Structures are given as C-alpha cells and as structure tokens.
C-alpha cells in the first residue's frame, strides 16, 4: 500500500480526464448554446436581415444552387428594426458572389432543417467581408400558411353565406 | 420454487436495500483508503475503457446507417445528427454502458469479493475488528459509481462520432446540418437526463455486483453462481430503472 | 481458582442451526496465561464455538463471557474493541491475497493505529522475525507454502500484541516439520509473552504436548475435561476412543441410516 504505483495512477488519471472531457463535450458542445466546434478558418462574413428566420440554427448550411458554400455563424435580433440578423460565414473560395444576390430561408424536405439558400444576382461587384445582402426572403412558416388557408376557406364560406 | 417466488423476491429486495444503506454509511469512512479507491476506479473504469469505446463506435455507426435509412424515407436525413445524439445520450449510452459494465467489471467484482468470502478473508477482517463493508465493499462501490457515468459520457461521444463517420462520411449527409441540427435540438436537459440515468445505473450495477459477491456461497460453484446472478440482476434492474426514469423525465 | 483468572467463560450454552442442535448445555472455561485446548471429532462444531466466542453468531441460550464481558449482548463498538485484544489464526491462514506478506502483517496496525512509517516497519519486521519469515516480507500470499502462510497469519495475529490468541485447527494439512514449527511457536508465545491461548484441534499428539487444560467435545457437550495426562488415562469410552484413535466406539463408524438389510433387500427390487 505504501509503494507508489505510477502506472495505476496515470491510468486512472487518464481515464478520469477522458471521462470528464467527454462529459464537458456533451454538456457544452451539443446544446446550441455551446461554443462552435468548427471554426471556418478561411471564410468571410456577410450579414442578412430577415423578417422571420423560422427555426434556423447556428451552423446550418448556406448553399447556392444546391452546393454548400458556407455556414450560418450567428442568429440574433436587431433591437432597432426588430428583424433577425443572420451572419453568414462563406468560404473564401466562393469570393465572386454578386452583391445584389438574394438570400432566402429554405427548408430541406417538407419537415427538414432550415438552411439559407443564396441566389446569384447580376451585379459586377461582389460580396466581401462585412457587406450586407439586401434582398432577403423570410422563412415560410407552415402554421402561418395553414392559418391563411383556413382563413381564406372561411372567408369564402362567409361570402357564400351572404350570397344566399 | 415458483410458489416461493414473491416472498423470495421481496426478501432479496429488502436484503439488497439494507446492504445499500450499510454501504452508504461506510462510504465516507472508506474515503480514507485513497489508494484503494483509486485502484477500484482503475479496475472498474480504465479497464473497461477499450470495450466501451469499441462498442460505442459500432453502435454509433449502426445508428448512422439505420437512422439514415429511416430518415431518408421522410426526406429528413439532415436530422440524423439529432436522432443519433438523442438516442445515444438519453438511452443507448447509459443502458449499453451499464450492461457492458455489469459484464466486464461487475462480474470481476463479484468473483473477487466472493473468493475473499470463500477463503475466509472477509471473516478474518471482521475478527481483526475491521469492517469488510468499509474496507472491501465501499471502495469498490465508490469506484463503480464514479466509473459508470464517465464511461457513459465517453461511450456517447464516441457513438456520436461513429454516427457522423457513417452518416456524413459514407451516406453523404451534409456535415453542417448534421452538427447544426444536433446542436439546435439537443438540450442541456437531455444531457442531464442521460447523466442522471448513468449515475443510477452505476449505483444499481455496482450494488448488485458487491451484494452478490459479499453474499456468495463460499464455494467455487457458489462464486460462479453469484457471478451469473450479478449479470442477470444488473441487466434486469438497469432496464427496469431505465423505464421508470424515462417515464419520470417525460 | 480466582474468578478474575477466567478469561473465557461459557455456561449452559445452547446453539442450533436450522433446527439442528449443535451445542446443548455446553460449559467451559479458559484461564489467563494458560493453553486451553478444545478437542473433538470432526463435525462437533469446534469452529462454530470460536465464532460464538468472537460474537460473530449468537446462541439461543446461555452466556459467553470474554474478558468478563457478555459477548452475546455486546454492541458492535465494544465488540470490535474486544476483538482488537484477541488475535485469531484461521485454518488456512486467510491472508489477504492482494497484499504482500509485509502488508498483511501491517494490516491491523494500519487499520487501527496511526503509526509513523519507520516504527510500523520495525514492528512488522520484528513479528516476521519471530515466525522466521522476515526474508519473505515482499512475497505475495499465493507464492507461499501452506506452512509459511500460516506462520505469516500468526505474525499478523500477534502484531497488535493481543492478550489472547485463538488458533483454529493450526495443524491441519501441514507436513511434520511445519507442524513442529507451529507447535513450538504456540508454546513459546504462551511461555515468553504469557499470552492466553485457545487451541481448537483434533490432533491429539500435538495438543497433549502443549495444552495445560483440555476439553473434549462430543455431541454438543463437554464429555471430558482435564490435563492431557488425566484424559489419557480416563476410563470413559468416548475419551478412550478419541485419544487412541479407534475407528468405532461410542462415536459410531456409521452415520445414522435405516437398517442395512432392509434397505438393500426392499428398495424397489
């Protein structure tokens, strides 16, 4: 008992360290509040304002014509305009995106995840770090659509009633 | 035998509970055996590490395949990360790790203590005025309940990487959406649920292992039988507790 | 004989396990500073008696006094305090298999006392020297022979300087040389340190050589008591049978069974 056993202590220490590292990973990295795992090293950032981003998540892909060109870096609210400000990190290799391109929040599949789709414009000047995308299209919120649908059906019924 | 079943089960439940209280009472005094506790964390944890990591990897990879196959029918492969992470953190991680622990570390605990019983070592301690529950049982119990949650966390992490390996690497799920969906949907409460489960499983499996060993019939056959009982009762107990905890967390 | 000279006093002891009676009306005493032997055929519950003495199990009736304390009704704390004054040698040694010889002997010291390491080391080496195994201090129990293991266990039993040592079948399974060593150790511990000694055994010769007082147990009670010489010349048939190793006598050769002829002739043929 008095003899120190270094192998034992090191083994145990490594195990406990690994265990707590795993625990730390689970608690900090997985929930969205966590620090981003992937730091896109060579990327430039542009901002876009949306009326509604739906449930767009940080880290969601930014794609152009179906090809991933970057990630959503942050989603926050602009306190003055009450609009959502989405920061997009676009890979440096896609440096020639026209500055009049428009960004739309789209859905992968019917119930799939939200992502940002960028459609190229015709301008000769390109987006660069810190610039802002002017034309945006908000997320289609399914509930709103359904509400509108019902409202229009109900409205039609009302009209039918008054016609009689 | 069958007619005695309810009474026998009740008897055992009572005996196990009393034994648990006896261990709890000795846990604090047992912490003075620092080296012994370290040794037991090593035995229970570090020695189970390889098998836990290997199983975690493969379960994660299977989740990647099955999850992808299922989700692409609804066109929501991008949710693979969520499905894999939640499945691992909340269910598979704690349960499978507990079962592996019962098979790998629990059995060796039982046979070790059972053999000490069979060779009079426990009685000798009692005669030397040393409580074997404090000297032998409590350090092993503490080692077990420290090791299981840590093993579970490692299992879940490796599993998620396994799912990512297959989902993103093989099936071509978009890496960004795999992670972003996962990070968006997994709540801290999910992680906590898994953690609480794994602590409970750690207590249950360690308790059954030391109980069966401590009360093993002091013969070779008795120790063998006790080892089998450890695996069976740990597995059943783990699944029963899992259902109750899952129901409680919903 | 002065009452305070009685270290162990068992009176009117009844003990039964699962309805099977082990002792009925057992009486015996052990005097301070002497070697008391408890002998009897296998299966008479000699080891059970030791467990009763140490308070590990409780009798149905009767009293057991150890150091003048009532062991049966002793709470856990005082019982453990009492056990610290007693050294016990188990049949097979019962060494802790995951500790070295040195640590086995040091075990009671580490558990009960806070000694500085150099002092502890000296104490342990002295006890190992006493049993002639100082050279084996760093060996592990599994590499010891049966006789060596028992000597290590003896060193462990005396490391706390007990007032009493209890030996449970100390001679079983030993070769003649080891047996001689153990006999000499028991005797010298008793003579030089004045340690009260209780030996449970069925080895007539060795016991006769060392015991001051012998109790012969049979069928749950003492059938004879006295010095070895007195027992050797005792007239009682059971004593005669045991002391001289006769296969049949009052202790029958056959375990109780139904009638032999009838069982052979009538069993379903």
Q: What is the least distance, in Å, from the CA of A86 to any CA of chain B?
A: 15
Please calculate the CA angle A100-A102-A103 and round it to the nearest 5 degrees.
140
Q: Phi and psi (nearest 5°) for C14?
A: -120, 130
Tell me how many degrees the CA angle C104-C107-C113 measures, rounded to the nearest 5.
155
Contact B120 C95 (CB under 8 A): no
Residue A140, phi then psi, degrees to nearest 5: -80, 115
DSSP B205: H
Q: How far is it, in rounded angstroms, from Cα B157 to Cα B186?
A: 14
Instruction: Tell me whether C112 touches chain B (CB under 8 Å).
Output: yes
Quote the minimal CA–CA distance from C103 to chain A in Å. Answer: 7
Chain B residues lying within 8 Å of A18, measured CB to CB = 49, 150, 154
The answer, for A67 touching chain C at a CB cutoff of 8 Å, is no
Tokens 């795999």 locate to B178
* A/B interface, count of CB pairs below 8 Å: 129
B115 touches B223 (CB < 8 A) = yes
Spatial CA neighbour of B99 closest among B247, B197, B193, B236: B236
Nearest 5°: the CA angle C113, C116, C121 is 95
Please list the residues that pair with C13 across neighbouring strands. C26
Euclidean distance between CA atoms A89 and C245, whole angstroms? 98
Closest partner CB to A22 (pick from B157, B179, B188): B157
Q: Which two tokens stand for residue B35?
A: 């080296």
Residue pointed to by tokens 């760093």: C138
What pLDDT, on a 0 to 100 scale, did the predictor assign at position A37? Answer: 47
The number of C-beta contacts closer than 8 angstroms across B and C is 50
Q: Write the residue in A23, A31, A108 that is nearest to B188 by C-beta.
A: A31
Tens digit of each residue's pLDDT (9 = 90 or more) over B184-240 = 778 888 899 999 999 999 999 999 999 999 999 988 899 999 999 999 999 999 999
Closest to A74 in 3D by CA, of A109, A97, A95, A43 = A43
- Tokens (6 digits) for C170: 């100390």
Higher pLDDT, A54 or B204: B204
What pLDDT, on a 0 to 100 scale, did the predictor assign at position C53? 87
Range with the poorest average pLDDT among B30-34, B140-144, C174-178, C240-244:
C240-244
Cβ of residue C83 closer than 8 Å to a chain B Cβ: yes
Q: Assess whether pLDDT exceeds 90 at residue B94.
A: yes
Chains that touch A (3 or more CB pairs under 8 A): B, C
DSSP-assigned beta bridge partners for residue A106: A115
Residue A31 has a pLDDT of: 65
- Residue C249's CB: how many other CB atoms inside 10 A? 14
The CA distance from C70 to the nearest CA of chain A, in Å, is 37
Tell me whether C54 touches chain B (CB under 8 Å). yes
Helix B138-164, helix A6-24: angle, nearest 10: 50
CA A37, distance to chain mean position in Å, is 15
Domain boundaries, chain A: 1-35, 43-145
- Closest Cα in chain C to B117: C94
- Give the whole-angstrom CA distance, residue A126 versus residue C81: 88
Helix (H) or strand (E) holding B137: none
Task: Determine whether the interchain pair A1/C99 forms a contact, defined as Cβ–Cβ distance below 8 Å.
Answer: yes
Residue B73 contacts A, CB cutoff 8 Å: no
H/E element holding C32?
none
pLDDT category at A164 given cuts 50, 70, 90 is very low
Report residue A161's pLDDT band, with 50, 70 and 90 as the boundaries. low
Instruction: Determine the average pLDDT of the residues in B25-38.
Output: 88
Nearest to B128 among C83, C91, C92 (CB): C83
Note whether B78 contacts A108, CB cutoff 8 Å.
yes
**CB of A8 within 8 Å of any CB in chain C?**
no
Arithmetic mean of pLDDT, B90-107 = 94
C90 and chain B in contact, CB less than 8 A: yes
**Which has more pLDDT, C60 or B60?**
B60
- Pick the more confident residue, B181 or C104: C104
Please give the sequence-ordered ranges of beta strands (E in DSSP) within C160-265, or none if there are none. 164-168, 196-201, 213-218, 221-226
Percent of chain B residues topping a pLDDT of 90: 65
Q: H-helix or E-strand containing C108?
A: helix C101-112
Whether residues B127 and C54 touch (CB distance < 8 A) is answered with: yes
- A40 to chain C, closest Cα gap in Å: 54
What pTM value is reported for the model? 0.78
What pLDDT sits at residue A34? 45
Chain-chain contact of C96 with B128 (C-beta, under 8 angstroms): no
Give A68's contacts in chain B (Cβ within 8 Å): 174, 176
Q: Give burial (CB, 10 Å; 0-12/13-18/19+) of A143.
A: exposed
Query: Which sign, positive or negative, has the C-alpha torsion B140, B144, B150, B156?
Result: positive
* Residue recorded with tokens 């709103």: A144
pLDDT at B106 over 90: yes
The verdict on B183 touching A (C-beta cutoff 8 Å) is: yes
Chain C CB contacts of A8 below 8 Å: none
Please state, rounded to an integer, the average pLDDT across all residues of chain B. Answer: 90
Q: What is the pLDDT of residue B200?
A: 95
Q: Write down the pLDDT at residue B111.
A: 94
- The 3-class secondary structure across B15-76, one letter per residue, is HHHHHHHHHHHHHHHHCCCHHHHHHHHHHHCHHHHHHHHHHHHHHHHHHHHHHHHHHHCCCC
- Chain A partners within 8 Å of B89 (Cβ): 26, 30
In this complex, is the C-beta atom of C84 within 8 Å of any C-beta atom belonging to chain B?
A: yes
Q: Is the pLDDT of residue A163 over 80?
A: no
Query: What is the DSSP secondary structure assignment for residue B170, as one 8-state letter?
Result: I
User: Which residues of chain C make contact with B29, given a CB cutoff of 8 A?
Assistant: none
Mutate to test the interface with A, among B90, B150, B158, B182 (most CBs of A within 10 A): B150
Query: CA of A163 to nearest chain B CA: how many angstroms apart?
Result: 43
Neighbouring chains to C with at least 3 Cβ pairs closer than 8 Å? A, B
Contact B183 A71 (CB under 8 A): no
Read off the pLDDT of residues A24-40 as tens digits, 9 standing for 90 and up. Answer: 888 877 665 444 444 44
Nearest CB to B129; choose among C80, C90, C97: C80
| Region class of C67: left (phi > 0), else alpha (psi between -120 and 50), else beta | left
Range in A160-164, B106-110, B164-168, C31-35 with the lowest mean pLDDT: A160-164
What average pLDDT does the segment B98-106 reach?
A: 94
Residue C221 to residue C46: CA distance in whole angstroms: 11
The closest of B66, B142, B165, B56 to B100, measured between CA atoms, is B56
Chain C residues 226-245 with CB within 8 Å of chain B:
none
Residue A85 has which token pair? 């400000």
For residue A3, give the chain C residue with the closest CA: C103
Please list the alpha-helical segments (H only) found in chain B: 5-30, 34-44, 49-72, 80-86, 93-101, 107-118, 121-127, 132, 138-164, 175-185, 188-214, 220-249
Q: Does C67 touch chain B (CB under 8 A)?
A: no
Q: Which residues of chain C have pLDDT under 70?
A: 1-4, 235, 267-269
Q: What percent of chain B has pLDDT over 70?
A: 98
Instruction: State the average pLDDT for chain A.
Output: 78
Which pLDDT score is estimated for C268?
A: 58
C227 vs C204: CA distance, rounded Å: 12
C138–A contact, CB cutoff 8 A = no
User: Are the Cβ atoms of A1 and C103 closer than 8 angstroms?
Assistant: yes
């Amino acid at each position: 008992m008095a003899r120190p056993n270094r192998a034992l202590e090191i083994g145990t220490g490594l195990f406990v360290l690994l265990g707590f590292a795993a625990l730390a990973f689970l608690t900090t990295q997985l929930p969205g509040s966590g620090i981003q795992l992937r730091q896109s090293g060579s990327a430039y950032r542009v901002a876009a304002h949306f009326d509604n981003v739906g449930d767009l998540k940080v880290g969601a892909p930014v794609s152009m014509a179906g090809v991933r060109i970057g990630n959503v870096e942050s989603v926050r609210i602009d306190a003055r305009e009450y609009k959502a400000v989405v920061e997009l990190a676009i890979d440096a290799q896609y440096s020639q995106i026209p500055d009049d391109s428009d960004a739309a929040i789209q859905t992968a599949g019917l119930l799939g995840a939200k992502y940002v789709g960028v459609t190229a414009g015709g301008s000769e000047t390109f987006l660069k770090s810190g610039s802002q995308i002017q034309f945006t299209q908000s997320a289609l919120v399914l509930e709103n659509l359904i509400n509108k649908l019902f409202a229009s059906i109900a409205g039609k019924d009302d009209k039918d009633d008054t016609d009689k | 035998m069958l007619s005695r079943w309810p009474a026998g089960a009740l008897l055992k439940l009572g005996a196990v509970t009393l034994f648990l209280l006896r261990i709890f009472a000795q846990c604090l005094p047992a912490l003075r055996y620092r080296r012994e506790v370290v040794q037991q964390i090593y035995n229970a944890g570090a020695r189970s590490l390889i098998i836990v990591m290997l199983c975690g990897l493969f379960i994660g990879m299977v989740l990647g395949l099955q999850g992808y196959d299922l989700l692409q029918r609804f066109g929501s492969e991008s949710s693979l990360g969520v499905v894999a992470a939640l499945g691992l953190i909340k269910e598979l991680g704690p349960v499978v790790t507990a079962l592996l622990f019962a098979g790998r570390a629990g059995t060796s605990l039982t046979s070790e203590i059972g053999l000490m019983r069979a060779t009079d070592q426990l009685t000798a301690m009692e005669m030397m005025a040393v409580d074997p529950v404090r000297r032998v049982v409590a350090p092993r119990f503490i080692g077990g309940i420290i090791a299981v949650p840590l093993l579970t966390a490692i299992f879940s992490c490796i599993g998620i990487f396994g799912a990512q390996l297959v989902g993103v690497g093989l099936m071509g799920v978009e890496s960004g959406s795999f992670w972003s969906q996962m990070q968006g949907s997994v709540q801290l409460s999910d992680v906590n649920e898994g953690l609480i489960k794994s602590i409970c499983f750690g207590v249950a499996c360690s308790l059954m292992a030391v109980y069966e060993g401590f009360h093993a019939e002091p013969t070779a056959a008795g120790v063998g039988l006790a080892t089998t009982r450890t695996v069976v009762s740990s597995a059943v107990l783990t699944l029963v507790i899992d259902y109750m905890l899952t129901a409680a967390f919903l | 004989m002065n009452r305070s000279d009685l270290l162990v006093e068992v009176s009117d002891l009844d003990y039964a396990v699962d309805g099977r009676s082990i002792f009925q009306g057992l009486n015996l005493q052990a005097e301070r500073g002497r070697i008391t032997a408890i002998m009897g055929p296998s299966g008479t519950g000699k080891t059970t008696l030791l467990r009763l003495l140490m308070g590990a199990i409780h009798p149905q009736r009767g009293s057991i006094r150890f150091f003048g304390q009532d062991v049966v009704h002793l709470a856990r704390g005082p019982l453990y305090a009492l056990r610290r004054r007693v050294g016990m040698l188990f049949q097979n040694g019962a060494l802790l298999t995951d500790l070295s010889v040195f640590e086995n002997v040091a075990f009671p010291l580490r558990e009960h006392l806070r000694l500085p390491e150099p002092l502890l080391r000296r104490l342990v080496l002295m006890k190992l020297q006493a049993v002639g195994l100082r050279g084996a201090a760093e060996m592990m129990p599994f590499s010891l022979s049966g006789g060596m293991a028992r000597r290590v266990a003896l060193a462990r039993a005396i490391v706390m300087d007990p007032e009493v040592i209890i030996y449970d079948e100390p001679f079983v399974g030993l070769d003649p040389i080891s047996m001689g060593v153990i006999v000499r150790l028991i005797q010298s511990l008793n003579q030089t340190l004045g340690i009260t000694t209780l030996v449970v055994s069925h080895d007539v010769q060795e016991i006769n050589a060392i015991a001051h007082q012998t109790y012969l147990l049979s069928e749950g009670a003492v059938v004879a008591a006295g010095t070895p010489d007195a027992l050797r010349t005792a007239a009682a048939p059971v004593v005669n049978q045991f002391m001289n190793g006769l296969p049949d006598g009052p202790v029958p050769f056959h375990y109780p069974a139904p009638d032999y002829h009838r069982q052979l002739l009538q069993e379903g043929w």
